Structure 1
Amino acid sequence: MAEQRILSPAKPEAGRLRTALKLLWADKPATVAAVFLLVIVLCAVFGPMLLEQVSSRQNLRGRNAPPFDLAKGWLLILGGDQLGRPLLARIVVAASNTMAIAAGAVLASMLIGSALGLCAGYSRGRAGDLIPRLADVIMSFPSLLLAVIVLYMLEPSVGNIILVLAITRIPVYLRTTRAEVLEVRERMFVQAALVMGASTPRIIFRHIMPMILPTILTIATLDFAFVMLAESSLSFLGIGIQPPEVTWGLMVAQGRPYLTTAWWLSFWPGLVIILTTLSLNLLSNWMRIALDPTQRWRLEMGGRKNV
């Protein structure tokens, strides 16, 4: 009996994971996207530990080395940059800063925006009218222009870039969460919990939050791609991460003067940005279907056909 009590909580979690994997396998493009993103995450976590010294080692004899020349070593399979540093190693190491900035900005904006949206949506008083005006104020400035102005005044460090990008994305989560809460709070199960004397925090986190969480997660997946592109744009303009730190956008900017003679300096990091963004969009589309009970049957039927 003791063993059953210990093992029983793990069975539902294992079943949910198995179901999620089956639904993912039913969507082949989303499966490929998930595998690619897993590789990118592994590069971001372990890349600096394994290849940081190699990525910064200069070799002037290998300046602008062409790609696919295996005679110079497997690290130069994608070519070398203007200082002879291997592009493959630099792309792997740059994944750490790029993913850290995108993840930090999305997480901060999601937490702050969702919390404000919950308060604005559930509150029937003055807070419900004042908080949405904050989103209107932020959205009145173009997000990229606001980031450019702030980063010109502040030091373009990782923390400042995360802060600026997070501020510009708060209205997305605030307005979406508020709209979802305004609709959910009028449903019968919320009214029943209110009549039975449930407290406001219990109603919000126990009854409302599980209903709107799938929408927030889907938006966060799409927003991750947008923030990554915004960071790449800032680095391309020269106000993002500064050398000796490196991101994919900075690598594209550094290769711009050599586009006519060494196109691979900008092509490979740009290709990684495109593939990562595409993978996030495919995974977001899969999440939207998998988390919607009215649409999930498409994946379930696809999984049965494959079996």
Structure 2
Amino acid sequence: MTQASTPVTTPPERSAFQTWLRLLWADKLAFFATLFLLFVLACAIFGPILMEDIATKQNLRGRNAAPFDLSQGFMLILGGDQLGRPLLARLIVAAQNTVAVAAGAVVMAMLIGSALGLIAGYSRGRMAELIPRLADVIMSFPSLLLAVIVLYMLDPSVGNIILVLAITRIPIYLRTTRAEVLEVRERMFVQAATVMGAPTPRIIFRHILPMILPTLLTIATLDFSFVMLAESSLSFLGIGIQPPEITWGLMVAQGRPYLTSAWWLSFWPGLAIILTTLSLNLLSNWMRVALDPQQRWRLEIGGRKNG
């Protein structure tokens, strides 16, 4: 008599989304930071559609209304500004310009800087010497001072602010990409592709770029917070986005004359900037570990314990 063998059941394979979600859940701070950033992104997308009229409607009876007073309606729960406009609605609407400027500057700087870095790192000719000098010229000027000088001469519109902030951040991506390419191009798989006669664009975009992309994404996440702080600083100095447009930095600047009598005018937008910047830093730290195969095991062990 032979005993019937029980079939071995293998656990179902997780999808890529489930795997990344499990890794994110392993780092609780990064998980809640991601939730907050998704909330900010939702406010940036849908906020102006839903609350633009409420954010611009004046109510002099609610001028500098104190927070947490529901006698004048729920929208004034965070207080009112100097014209009685609800701060809650204005915070939600201002998220669009704040996120748009930061995202536009980071994406533009990453695309231009990474492209120049790929050329400078893989090329062995004159371009490998000229392109790094371009980064040296840009970095010779303090980024905020350069933005102040340019915006003082140009119209401080959203497009000009994105362009100026992108130019100041290009050297970060250029130097990082060049340094990564100089190391990756000497590896065996790149040398093998070269010997087999693979064209240069295929080697760069198929073999080199996927290796350095995680580093660039981590830097972009961290750089997003820096650009947002730079935009807030320009708006605070009065050379950023001008009314009737609004950003969190501009709201802080508009509340500066009332710091002693109505502190909440600058406190809430300042808190939004701090929380968004902190969340981006936490997410960047998680991405640095999750995208590194040599360190990802820490998150995988934490995910198994939590699961």
TM-score, with structure 1 as normaliser: 0.95
Separation (CA, whole Å) in 1 of partners of 2:73 and 2:29:
33
**Distance in 1, Cα, partners of 2:101 & 2:222:** 15
2:75 paired residue number? 75
> Is 1:101 paired with 2:101?
yes
Q: Post-superposition shift, 1:15?
A: 1.4
**Aligned-pair distance for 1:200?**
0.2
Residue matched to 1:64: 64
Structure 2 matches for 1:196-207, cutoff 5 A? 196-207=196-207
Which residue in the other structure is 2:28 paired with? 28
Q: Residues of 1 paired with 2:74 and 2:28: CA distance?
A: 30
Counterparts in 2 of 1:246-257, with a 5 A limit? 246-257=246-257
Match of 1:170 in 2: 170
Name the CA distance, whole Å, in 2 between partners of 1:224 and 1:303.
Answer: 27
Aligned counterparts of 1:188 and 1:292: Cα–Cα separation in 2: 20
Q: String of CA shifts for 1:121-144, please: whole Å, max 9, x gaps.
A: 000000000000000000000000
Q: Residue 43 of structure 1 corresponds to which residue in structure 2?
A: 43
- Deviation at 1:86? 0.1
After superposition, the C-alpha distances for 1:93-145 in whole angstroms (9 at most, x for unaligned) are: 00000000000000000000000000000000000000000000000000000
Deviation for aligned residue 1:71: 1.7
Match of 2:278 in 1: 278
Unaligned runs of 5+ in 2: 1-11
Distance, in Å, in 2 between the alignment partners of 1:61 and 1:30 is 42
Task: Return the letter of the residue paired with 1:134.
Answer: L
The alpha carbon displacement at 1:70 in A equals: 1.3
Alpha-carbon distance, 1:199 to partner: 0.4
Aligned twin of 1:227: 227
- Larger deviation: 113-122 or 66-75? 66-75
Which amino acid in the other structure matches residue 52 of structure 1?
E
> 1:29-59: per-residue Cα shift (whole Å, max 9, x none)?
0000000000000000000000000000000
Deviations 1:246-294 (A, max 9, x none): 0000000000000000000000000000000000000000000000000
What is the identity, as a one-letter code, of the residue corresponding to 2:203?
Answer: I
C-alpha distance in structure 2 between counterparts of 1:54 and 1:241, whole Å: 20
Give the distance between the partners of 1:72 and 1:22, measured in 2 at CA. Answer: 44
Separation (CA, whole Å) in 2 of partners of 1:75 and 1:282: 30
Question: Runs of 5+ in structure 1 lacking a partner?
Answer: 1-10
Offset of 1:18 from its aligned partner?
A: 1.1
Please identify the structure whose Cα radius of gyration is greater: 2
TM-score relative to the length of structure 2: 0.95
Identity of aligned residues (%): 81
Q: Distance in 2 between matches of 1:111 and 1:142?
A: 22
Equivalent residue letter for 2:136: D
2:116 maps to 116
Mapping 1:104-183, distance limit 5 Å: 104-183=104-183
Aligned-residue Cα RMSD (Å) equals 1.0
Number of the residue aligned with 2:9:
none
Question: In the aligned structure 2, how far is the partner of 1:115 from the partner of 1:299?
Answer: 32
Using the alignment, how far apart are the partners of 2:170 and 2:111 within structure 1? 9
Residue type of the alignment partner of 2:89: A
Amino acid at match of 2:187: R
Aligned to 1:244: 244
Corresponding letter in the other structure for 1:79: G
Q: In structure 1, what residue type is equivalent to 2:302?
A: G
Q: Distance in 1 between matches of 2:109 and 2:22?
A: 31
One-letter amino acid of the counterpart of residue 123, structure 1: S
SS at match of 1:90: helix
AA matched with 2:28: K
Task: Give the aligned partner of residue 87 of structure 2.
Answer: 87
Across the two proteins, how many residue pairs are aligned to each other?
Answer: 296
Letter of the 2:258 counterpart: Y
Q: Provide the C-alpha distance between the structure 1 equivalents of 2:17 and 2:119, rounded to a whole number of angstroms.
A: 32
> Where do 4+ consecutive residues of structure 1 move more than 3 Å?
none
**Counterparts of 2:118 and 2:16, CA distance in 1:** 27
Alpha-carbon separation, structure 1, partners of 2:276 and 2:262: 23
Instruction: Give SS of 2:79's match.
Output: coil
Alignment-mate amino acid for residue 24 of structure 1 = L
Identify the residue that residue 293 of structure 2 maps to in structure 1: 293
